[in-house]
Amino acid sequence: MPITETLLAAIFVLFCATLRGFTGFGLAVALVPLLALVMTPQQAVPIVLVLQVAAGLQSLRSDWPHIDWRSIGLLLPGAVLGLPIGLFVLAQISPAVAKLVIGLLAAVAVLTLASGWRLKAAPGKAQVLALGGLAGVFNGLAAMPGVAVVALFLASPQPPAVARASMVFFFLLTGAVGALLAHERGLLGGGNLLLAGLMIPPMMAGTWLGGLAFQRLGGRGYRPFGVAILAAIAVMAVIQGVAAILG
């Protein structure tokens, strides 16, 4: 890729990684559309999957003590069970309609969270498993598993450090699965791996900056900032869906 486009891609990665370092989510949804400005989506998606894994590994040591293993243990089976359902529904409707539906559901979640509503206690096993299933359905529909998981942790009474660490770990695991599937389908060849390697330094710098901001603020402002990012995801999904439907 030309030097100018490569530098632009690095700036995009630095910016999005900083947001992700603070909130624990939003890297893929924010970064893929930006990278698609300087490369093809077929390049952008697998590169972001690799960066998602690298970012999770970078903060894994500090996040490890804060991970909510109970939620992770229930979200992952649900996500696996929900994935084929999402793929089946996707076969019946267009990806554009899927993104529009997910965007509208994310908007409902944003409005609910913005109203100040929060769970008074940790959700039960059945609830978390169901949300994991919803994440799997969203993943199969439009490669957007995070909406349900983010809404769960932002509404949770858990401390911000626990919510952030748990989301980072969940997306590390789903990113690893996605990267393996991309490699199997030939989307992670030498060129894309080289580009991903070039993007790792700005990704690490952004993740460090975002994590530092989170620590310095002690989690203050974490929830409203997270709701704002979730709102941006909802708007982007709706715009993409409507634009694709209108052709």
3-state secondary structure the chain: CCHHHHHHHHHHHHHHHHHHHHHCCCHHHHHHHHHCCCCCHHHHHHHHHHHHHHHHHHCHHHHHHHCCHHHHHHHHHHHHHHHHHHHHHHHHCCHHHHHHHHHHHHHHHHHHHHCCCCCCCCCCHHHHHHHHHHHHHHHHHHCCCHHHHHHHHHHCCCCHHHHHHHHHHHHHHHHHHHHHHHHHCCCCCHHHHHHHHHHHHHHHHHHHHHHHHHHHHCCCCHHHHHHHHHHHHHHHHHHHHHHHHHC
Using pLDDT thresholds of 50, 70 and 90, give the confidence band for residue 222: confident
Supply the pLDDT for residue 64.
95
Which has the higher per-residue pLDDT, 95 or 56?
A: 56
Please check the confidence at residue 67 and state whether its pLDDT lies above 80. Answer: yes
Supply the pLDDT for residue 66.
93
Query: pTM for the whole thing?
Result: 0.79
Please check the confidence at residue 102 and state whether its pLDDT lies above 90. Answer: no
Please check the confidence at residue 214 and state whether its pLDDT lies above 80. Answer: yes
For the chain, what percent of residues have pLDDT higher than 70? Answer: 99
Q: Considering only CA atoms, which of 4, 29, 16 is closest in space to residue 175?
A: 29
Q: How far, CA to CA in Å, does 38 sit from each of 18, 25, 28, 32?
A: 20, 23, 16, 10
Q: Are 241 and 103 in contact (CB under 8 A)?
A: yes
Please check the confidence at residue 7 and state whether its pLDDT lies above 70. Answer: yes
Supply the pLDDT for residue 143.
66
Q: How far, CA to CA in Å, does 201 sit from each of 19, 39, 197?
A: 16, 19, 8
Using pLDDT thresholds of 50, 70 and 90, give the confidence band for residue 199: very high
Supply the pLDDT for residue 106.
77
> Using CA of residue 109, residue 219, residue 166, residue 146, what is the dihedral sign?
positive
Model confidence over 224-236: pLDDT tens digits?
A: 888 888 788 788 8
- Calculate mean pLDDT across residues 21-28: 82
Using pLDDT thresholds of 50, 70 and 90, give the confidence band for residue 223: confident
Give the whole-angstrom CA distance, residue 144 versus residue 137: 9
- Across the chain, mean pLDDT equals 84
Supply the pLDDT for residue 205.
95
The torsion angles phi and psi of 182, rounded to 5 degrees, stand at: -65, -40
Give the whole-angstrom CA distance, residue 240 versus residue 179: 23
Please check the confidence at residue 93 and state whether its pLDDT lies above 90. Answer: no
